[in-house]
Amino acid sequence: MSRPTRFEHNQYVGDKRNRIVHDLDAATDACAIDELMASEQFAAFGPDSLAEARNRGYRPHPACTGQVGGGAPAVASRTGEESDSDQ
Ligand SMILES: [Zn+2]
């Protein structure tokens, strides 16, 4: 799947309809990025990071981000959530 032209400088794009954030570097058919672009209900983040997306209340899409989407979104700080994934 090719990266949407208007997001060529962004890695992450959010879907305002369901508050899901996708990683364009790893987007799959399940992400329906083309459909999202057509809907124009997408959001860019600044800084362009998953942490920023989560701060804004978006949940990472498991299929492309590799993150578990369940649970409450992390707020403000990522410290603590990496404790069991690093070692
Ligand atoms: Zn996705």
pLDDT of amino acid 5: 80
Distance CA 86, CA 18 (A): 29
Distance CA 3, CA 68 (A): 23
| Amino acid symbol at 64 | C
pLDDT of amino acid 70: 54
CA of 22 to the centre of ligand 1 (A): 4
CA of 77 to the centre of ligand 1 (A): 23
CA of 87 to the centre of ligand 1 (A): 26
Is the backbone of residue 26 left (phi > 0), alpha (psi -120 to 50) or beta? alpha
pLDDT of amino acid 14: 98
Residue-wise pLDDT for 24-65, tens only, equals 999 999 999 999 999 999 999 999 999 999 999 999 999 999
CA of 43 to the centre of ligand 1 (A): 13
Whole-model pTM: value is 0.74
